[in-house]
C-alpha cells in the first residue's frame, strides 16, 4: 500500500465495478454497503490501535463500495417509450459510425417523436442507417424523417455478442433505418460543441476532395482525425490480421508523438527558465486536439495519462508511470464505469502495464547500445515485445485469433510510426489551410501506398495465422500469471525457483484447458438460434455440429454472427451446414418439436 497506494485502490474500485456488473446488487444493498464503508473510513480517524491495524483494509473496502455505487448509477439505463414499426422523428446528428457496403451509419439524437404518448418526451439516442446515395448529415441542421425503428435484439445465448448492452453502455437504445427523403431545417443557434464537430467534418470533406487516392484519403482520416467510417474492408482486415490496428486508431503513441513535437517546438521558442510554460502549452494543445477530433475514448485515455505524468513534473515530484496510469483510470471510471468493459480501455492499460513490467528486462537481453540510433531501436523493440506479450491473452480472449506475423510487422512498422504520424499530421494541416502543391500529395501517396502494400503482404501470410482460438476467463487469468513470472526469469536468469513458477503456470494452464475441452467434448445439445427473423438449429454431438438453416438466407452473416461464435464457445472444429425447405414450420429432433415460425 505504501509503494503503490493509487494502484491498489484502483484495483479495489475495479473489483467493486465487476461485483455490481456480475451480481447486480439491489438499491438497498448498494446504499447499505456505502454506509458501512463510510463507517469504516470514520474508524480510521479514531486513534485506537485496533483501527490503525486495519485502516488499509477499511480504505480498500471503501473504494470497493464506491465502485459498486458508481456502476449502479451508471447502469440505470433510460426508460424508452414504446415505438411502432414506423415512426416520424425529429433528430440531430451526434456522431458518425462505420459504414457498411450499403448504408452510412450515424448516432443521432431523437428530439421529438409526435406519436409518443408521454407528456414530456426525453431525447433518446439511436443508431441510424441510411443508403449511401442519401445526402450526408451534418451538425448545422435539424432533420425530420419517417423511419423504421426498433429496439436492438436481445441475445438468447451466452456465446453471442450482446449488441444491445454494448449500445446501452453508450446511452444508445434504438436502431432505425431511413429509406426515404429527409426534411432538414438549419439551426438558428449552433452550440460550440457542434461548431467544433462541423469544423472537423469540413476538414474530412476537404480530404475527400484532395488529389490523394481514395484509399490514402481514408487512411489519413483514420490515423489523424479518428474517422474510419468509410475505410474499405480490405484495409481494415489487413491491419487487424497484422496486429497493427492500433496505428489506425488515435492511441497513446499518437498523442505522445504529437505532445513531444509541440513540446520540442515550444522549447525552441520559449526561454529555458520558462520550460514549465512549454509543458502547459503542449498539454493545452493536445487537449484542444482531443476536443477537435470529438474526444474519443482512446484519445481521452492518452491525454489523461500524459497530463497526469507531466503534472507531477510541473509539481517537481518524481514522475511515476503507475501513479499516472492509476490516476487517469480513476478519473475515467469515476465519470463512466462502463469504460471498464470497453476492449480498447482494457488493451490500453494492460499494454502500458506490460511496458512498465517487461520492457526493461527485455531490453537488457540486447547488447549494450553503442549509438543513439541503436539504443532507440532497442527501446522501441523492447516496448513492442512487452506490449504484445502483455496484451496477448486479452487479444485472444476477445478476437479468438493470433498471428505470428504481428510480431514482425510491429517491429518493422512501429519504428516508422513517428515518421508516418508526423507526415500525416502535416498533410492534414496542409489540406485544412488549402495548400495545393501536387508534388507533396504525390510523394505522400506513394509513401503510404508502399506502407499499405507491405502491411497487405504481411496480412497474406495465412500460414502464420491461427483462428477460432477459444480462451476461458480462468485460462486468461493463468496466462497473465505466467506473464507476471516471465519478468523474473528474464531479469534474473534461470533458477530453480523461477523454473518452478513457470512450470506451475504452464501445468495449471494445460490442466484447465484439458478439463474445459473435455467438458465441451462430452456436451450434447440442441439449440435454436434467433438471428433477426431467421431461426437456426444446431445439433451438437461430441466434436461435431450440424447447423440447419433456411436455404440461402443471410448465409454469410449467419456464419459470422452465429456459427463462428458458437464453434469458438463450444470448442468444436468439425461442423456441417444443412438446409431445410422454405416452407418448413417445425423440426422434430430427439422426440422434441422446435418451432421455426
User: 45-59, 116-130, 294-308, 315-329: which has the minimum mean pLDDT?
Assistant: 45-59
Q: pLDDT of 98-119, one tens digit each?
A: 887 788 899 999 988 877 665 5
Residues 292 and 430 in one domain: yes
What does the pLDDT read at residue 390?
Answer: 92
pLDDT for the residue numbered 51: 61
At residue 483, the pLDDT reads: 94
Look at residue 2 and tell me whether its pLDDT is greater than 60.
no
353 part of a folded domain: no
Give per-residue pLDDT as tens, 480-532: 999 999 988 888 777 888 889 999 999 999 999 999 999 999 988 888 888 87
pLDDT over 80 at 150, yes or no:
yes
Which range, 51-60, 90-99, 161-170, 471-480, has the best average confidence (pLDDT)? 471-480
Q: Does residue 15 lie within any of the structural domains?
A: yes
pLDDT, residue 20, reads 94
| Residue 241: per-residue pLDDT | 82
**CA–CA gap between residue 168 and residue 170 (Å, rounded):** 5
Query: 233-263: per-residue pLDDT in tens?
Result: 888 888 888 877 777 777 777 788 888 888 8
Element (H, E) at 332: helix 321-335
The pLDDT value given to residue 480: 95
Mean pLDDT, the chain, whole residue set: 85
Contact 550, 500 (CB under 8 A): no
Residues 219 and 276 in one domain: yes
Whether residue 392 lies inside any domain: the answer is no
Contacts of 427 (CB under 8 A, 6+ apart): 220, 440, 441, 444
Q: Which of 61-70, 110-119, 132-141, 240-249 has the highest mean pLDDT?
A: 61-70
Handedness of CA 40, 43, 44, 48 (dihedral sign): negative
CA neighbor of 95 nearest in space, from 191, 173, 201, 183: 201
Question: What is the per-residue pLDDT for 597?
Answer: 62
Query: Percentage of the chain surpassing pLDDT 90?
Result: 22
Do 296 and 422 have their domain in common?
A: yes
- Looking at the DSSP bridge assignments, the partners of residue 539 are 526, 546
In which band, very low, low, confident or very high, does the pLDDT at 231 lie, cut at 50, 70 and 90?
Answer: confident
Q: Determine if residue 272 is left, alpha or beta; phi over 0 gives left, psi from -120 to 50 gives alpha, anything else beta.
A: alpha
Q: Is 155 within a domain?
A: yes
Q: Minimum mean pLDDT among 31-40, 60-69, 324-333, 435-444: which range?
A: 435-444
The three cell numbers of residue 325 are 496510469
In tens, the pLDDT along 377-425 reads 788 888 888 888 999 999 999 988 888 888 778 877 777 777 888 888 8
Evaluate the CA torsion angle 535, 539, 540, 545 in order and state its sign: negative
Q: Is residue 300 part of a domain?
A: yes
Strands 86-97 and 124-131: unpaired
For the cut 80, the answer to whether the pLDDT of residue 157 exceeds it is: no
pLDDT grade, residue 126 (50/70/90)? Answer: very high
Residues written for the chain: 597
Q: Which residues make Cβ contacts (< 8 Å) with residue 412, sequence separation at least 6?
A: 454
> Domain end: 520, 538, 558, which one?
520
In a domain, 324, yes or no: yes
Choice between 596 and 235, residue whose per-residue pLDDT is larger: 235
Give the 3-state secondary structure percentages of the chain, helix then strand then coil, rounded to 5.
Answer: 60, 15, 25
pTM here is 0.87
Which of 130, 110, 131 shows the shortest CA–CA distance to 121?
Answer: 110
Instruction: Please provide the distance, in angstroms rounded to a whole number, between the alpha carbons at the two ends of the chain.
Output: 60
Grid cell 424508452 in the structure block, residue: 80
Query: Cα(571)–Cα(520) distance, rounded to whole angstroms?
Result: 7
Q: CA 137 to CA 144: how far, in whole Å?
A: 12
Lowest mean pLDDT among 75-84, 176-185, 582-591: 582-591
Backbone angles phi, psi at 574, to 5 degrees: -90, 115
Please state, in angstroms and rounded to a whole number, the distance separating the CA atoms of residues 443 and 175.
43
Do residues 294 and 428 share a domain? yes
- Same domain, yes or no, for 56 and 130? no
Domain span at residue 578? 523-595
Phi, psi of 280 (to 5 degrees): -60, -45
Q: Could you give the CA distance from residue 466 to residue 543 in angstroms, rounded to a whole number?
A: 19
| Nearest Cα residue to 369 out of 361, 359, 379 | 379
Do 569 and 513 share a structural domain?
A: no
Q: Does 77 have pLDDT greater than 90?
A: no
Residue 12, in any domain of the structure: yes
* H-only helix segments in 213-274: 214-225, 233-241, 245-248, 252-269
pLDDT exceeds cutoff 90 at 475: yes
- Quote the CA–CA distance of 263 and 283 in Å, as a whole number: 9
Name which of 62, 66, 27, 17 is nearest 43 in CA terms: 62
Name the packing angle between helices 297-314 and 252-269 (round to 10°): 40
Number of domains within the chain:
5
Q: Are residues 331 and 210 in the same domain?
A: yes
Phi, psi of 269 (to 5 degrees): -95, -45
Q: Cell 528486462 appears where?
A: 361
- Candidates 197, 198, 218, 196; CA nearest to 424 is 218
| pLDDT band with cut points at 50, 70 and 90 for residue 457 | confident
Cα–Cα distance for residue pair 340/151, rounded to 1 Å: 24
* Cα–Cα dist 406/240, whole Å: 9
Give tens-digit pLDDT for 260-319. 888 888 888 888 778 888 889 999 998 888 888 877 777 888 888 888 888 888 887 777
The reply to whether 214 and 314 lie within a common domain is yes
The x, y and z cell numbers of residue 518, run together, are 473435455
User: Domain boundary at 486, 520, 554, which?
Assistant: 520
How far apart are the C-alpha atoms of 291 and 94, rounded to whole Å?
Answer: 14
**The pLDDT of residue 48:** 58
The CB density around residue 576, as the number of other CB atoms within 10 Å, is 10
The reply to whether 97 and 138 lie within a common domain is: yes
- 23 and 135 fall within a common domain: no
Mean pLDDT for the stretch of residues 555-566: 84
Selected residue with higher pLDDT from 558 and 551:
558
Beta bridge partners of 593: 588
Handedness of CA 26, 32, 35, 37 (dihedral sign): negative
Residue 162, classed as helix, strand or coil, is coil
Give the per-residue pLDDT at 247.
75
pLDDT band at 196 (very low <50, low <70, confident <90, very high): confident
pLDDT above 60: residue 142: yes
Residues 6+ apart with CB under 8 A from 314: 276, 279, 280
Question: 127 and 145: one domain?
Answer: yes
Give the mean pLDDT of 35-53. Answer: 73
Q: For residues 137 and 130, what is the distance between their CA atoms, to the nearest angstrom?
A: 10
Residue-level pLDDT at 201: 87
**Last residue of some domain: 74, 106, 132?**
74
Residue 553 inside a domain? The answer is yes
Helix (H) or strand (E) holding 105: strand 103-112
| Percent with pLDDT over 70 in the chain | 95
Lookup result for grid cell 484447465: 512
Report the pLDDT averaged over residues 352-363. 90
Do 181 and 306 fall within a single domain?
A: no
Q: pLDDT band for 47, please (50, 70, 90 cuts).
A: low
Q: What is the mean pLDDT of residues 177-193?
A: 84
Amino acid at each position: 500500500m505504501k509503494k503503490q497506494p493509487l494502484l491498489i485502490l484502483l484495483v479495489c474500485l475495479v473489483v467493486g465495478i465487476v461485483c455490481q456488473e456480475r451480481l447486480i446488487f439491489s438499491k438497498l444493498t448498494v446504499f447499505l454497503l456505502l454506509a458501512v464503508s463510510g463507517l469504516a473510513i470514520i474508524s480510521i480517524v479514531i486513534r485506537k490501535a485496533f483501527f490503525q491495524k486495519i485502516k488499509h483494509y477499511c480504505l480498500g473496502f471503501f473504494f470497493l463500495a464506491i465502485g459498486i455505487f458508481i456502476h449502479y448509477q451508471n447502469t440505470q439505463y433510460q426508460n424508452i417509450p414504446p415505438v411502432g414499426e414506423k415512426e416520424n422523428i425529429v433528430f440531430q446528428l451526434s456522431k458518425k459510425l462505420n459504414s457498411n457496403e450499403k448504408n452510412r451509419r450515424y448516432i443521432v439524437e431523437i428530439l421529438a417523436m409526435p406519436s409518443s404518448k408521454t407528456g414530456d418526451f426525453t431525447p433518446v439516442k439511436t443508431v441510424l442507417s441510411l443508403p449511401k446515395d442519401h445526402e450526408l448529415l451534418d451538425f448545422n441542421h435539424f432533420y425530420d424523417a419517417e423511419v423504421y425503428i426498433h429496439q436492438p435484439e436481445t441475445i438468447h445465448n451466452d456465446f453471442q455478442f450482446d449488441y444491445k448492452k454494448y449500445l446501452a453502455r453508450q446511452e444508445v437504445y434504438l436502431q432505425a433505418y431511413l429509406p426515404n427523403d429527409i426534411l432538414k431545417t438549419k439551426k438558428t443557434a449552433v452550440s460550440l460543441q457542434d461548431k467544433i464537430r462541423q469544423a472537423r467534418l469540413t476538414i474530412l470533406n476537404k480530404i475527400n476532395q484532395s488529389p490523394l487516392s481514395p484509399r490514402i484519403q481514408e487512411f489519413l482520416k483514420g490515423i489523424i482525425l479518428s474517422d474510419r467510417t468509410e475505410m474499405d474492408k480490405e484495409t481494415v482486415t489487413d491491419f487487424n490480421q497484422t496486429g497493427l490496428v492500433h496505428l489506425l486508431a488515435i492511441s497513446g503513441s499518437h498523442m505522445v508523438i504529437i505532445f513531444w513535437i509541440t513540446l520540442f517546438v515550444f522549447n525552441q521558442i520559449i526561454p529555458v527558465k520558462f520550460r514549465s510554460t512549454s509543458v502547459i502549452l503542449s498539454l493545452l494543445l493536445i487537449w484542444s486536439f482531443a476536443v477537435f477530433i470529438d474526444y474519443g475514448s482512446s484519445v481521452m485515455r492518452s491525454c489523461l495519462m500524459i497530463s497526469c505524468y507531466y503534472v507531477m513534473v510541473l509539481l517537481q515530484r518524481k514522475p511515476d508511470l503507475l501513479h499516472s496510469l492509476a490516476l487517469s483510470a480513476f478519473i475515467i471510471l469515476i465519470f463512466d464505469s462502463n469504460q471498464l468493459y470497453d476492449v480498447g480501455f482494457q488493451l490500453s492499460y494492460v499494454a502500458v502495464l506490460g511496458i512498465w513490467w517487461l520492457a526493461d528486462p527485455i531490453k537488457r537481453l540486447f547488447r549494450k547500445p553503442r549509438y543513439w540510433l541503436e539504443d532507440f531501436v532497442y527501446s522501441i523493440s523492447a516496448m513492442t515485445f512487452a506490449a504484445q506479450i502483455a496484451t496477448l491473452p486479452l487479444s485472444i480472449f476477445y478476437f479468438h485469433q493470433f498471428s505470428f506475423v504481428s510480431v514482425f510487422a510491429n517491429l518493422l512498422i512501429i519504428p516508422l510510426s513517428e515518421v508516418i504520424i508526423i507526415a500525416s499530421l502535416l498533410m492534414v494541416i496542409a489540406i485544412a489551410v488549402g495548400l495545393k502543391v501536387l508534388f507533396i500529395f504525390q510523394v505522400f501517396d506513394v509513401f503510404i501506398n508502399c506502407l499499405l502494400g507491405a502491411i497487405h503482404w504481411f496480412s497474406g501470410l495465412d500460414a502464420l495465422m491461427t483462428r477460432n482460438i477459444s480462451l476461458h476467463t480462468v485460462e486468461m487469468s493463468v496466462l497473465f500469471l505466467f506473464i507476471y513470472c516471465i519478468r523474473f526469469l528474464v531479469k534474473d536468469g534461470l533458477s530453480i525457483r523461477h523454473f518452478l513458477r513457470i512450470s506451475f503456470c504452464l501445468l495449471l494452464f494445460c490442466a484447465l484447458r484439458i478439463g474445459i475441452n473435455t467438458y465441451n467434448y462430452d456436451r450434447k445439445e440442441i439449440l435454436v438460434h434467433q438471428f433477426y427473423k431467421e431461426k437456426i438449429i444446431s445439433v451438437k454431438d461430441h466434436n461435431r455440429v450440424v447447423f440447419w438453416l433456411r436455404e440461402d438466407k443471410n448465409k454469410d452473416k449467419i456464419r459470422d454472427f452465429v456459427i463462428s461464435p458458437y464453434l469458438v464457445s463450444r470448442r468444436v472444429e468439425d461442423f456441417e451446414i444443412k438446409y431445410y425447405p422454405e416452407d418448413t414450420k417445425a423440426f422434430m429432433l430427439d422426440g422434441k418439436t422446435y418451432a421455426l415460425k
